[in-house]
């Protein structure tokens, strides 16, 4: 049984097959299952250009959405090492899943919402990327 303290939620470029997934693989992360966040988050596409970056932010009460992601089990010490790779405005924090458990996850500074595109209605980062390929 995996303790939630040893789990990490990926919702953006750390998803399997995407550009930063190798960071999880290098730390020995093991995919447990697809999950969704509680309905208290918003997903942003940050930055201009052909490849924006994802950002998960906590939403105001009643304004959140369930965002698709992947839940990973991590070996001891991996969370601390992964946290050292993160740069502002992203940080590692605690994210609540739709089943009520709290796990580690990548969160973005809410100030980014003013300049980023809110893509929460798409349900997840993969759906957003699929839309980019269609443009």
Reported as a single tens digit per residue, the pLDDT across 45-99 is: 999 878 899 999 999 999 999 999 999 999 999 999 999 999 999 999 999 999 9
**Phi and psi, residue 115, nearest 5°:** -115, -5
Residue 22 has pLDDT above 70, yes or no: yes
Task: Show me where the domains of the chain are located.
Answer: 4-129
pTM (2 d.p.): 0.93
Q: For strand 30-36 and strand 102-108, is the pairing parallel, antiparallel, or unpaired? A: unpaired
**Phi and psi, residue 2, nearest 5°:** -95, 130
Span 4-129 CATH architecture: Roll (3.10)
């Amino acid at each position: 049984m995996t303790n939630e303290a040893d789990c990490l939620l990926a919702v953006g470029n750390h998803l399997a097959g995407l550009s930063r997934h190798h960071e999880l693989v290098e730390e020995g992360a093991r995919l447990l299952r697809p999950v969704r966040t509680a309905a208290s988050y918003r997903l942003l596409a940050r930055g201009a250009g052909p490849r924006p970056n994802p950002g998960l932010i906590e939403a105001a009460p009643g304004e959140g959405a369930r965002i698709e992601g992947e839940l990973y089990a991590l070996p001891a010490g991996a969370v601390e090492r992964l946290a050292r790779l993160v740069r502002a405005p992203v940080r590692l924090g605690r994210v609540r899943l739709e089943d009520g458990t709290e796990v580690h996850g990548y969160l973005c500074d809410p100030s980014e919402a003013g300049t980023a595109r809110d893509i929460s209605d798409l349900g997840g980062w993969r759906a957003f990327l699929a839309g980019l390929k269609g443009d």
